[in-house]
Amino acid sequence: MTSALQAIANLLPQLSGGERAQLLQWVAQDLGDLAPGVEVHPLVCGGEPCIVRTRIPVWVLEQARRQGLNDGEILRCYPSLRAEDLVNAWAYVRRHRSEVEGQINENEAL
């Protein structure tokens, strides 16, 4: 267990029921922003959101979709992807549309 998790585990018994409920709300809110299957790592693809297990940025997949490729065609172009990866990518795009738009625009300008 990491030291941060251990610290939380040690503090948890000291919290009142209301404080625990507040903590749970914060955690649930934080988890709501996560996109399963999409990761951001500063040393992978310049820190752009990518599909886990790959170095395929989400913006690349969204750009392909905008250019008319359907999911089947995208999966054929990227054999390491699974249908589940595209579901996760599209969910990420819905939640972070302006971020993805910016990444597409930046890369089109190059």
Show me where the domains of the chain are located: 3-32, 38-108
> Is-contact 93 62, C-beta < 8 A?
yes
Instruction: Say how far apart CA 101 and CA 59 lie, in whole Å.
Output: 8
Percentage, residues of the chain above pLDDT 70: 94
| Phi-psi region at 40: left, alpha or beta (left = phi > 0; alpha = psi -120 to 50) | beta
pLDDT of the residue at 91: 92
Distance of CA 47 to the CA centre of its chain: 12
Percentage, residues of the chain above pLDDT 90: 65
Residue-wise pLDDT for 74-88, tens only, equals 999 999 999 999 999
Specify the pTM: 0.70
The sign of the dihedral angle between the CA atoms of 38, 103, 26, 86 is negative
Does the pLDDT at position 30 exceed 70?
no
Assign domain 38-108 to its CATH architecture.
Orthogonal Bundle (1.10)
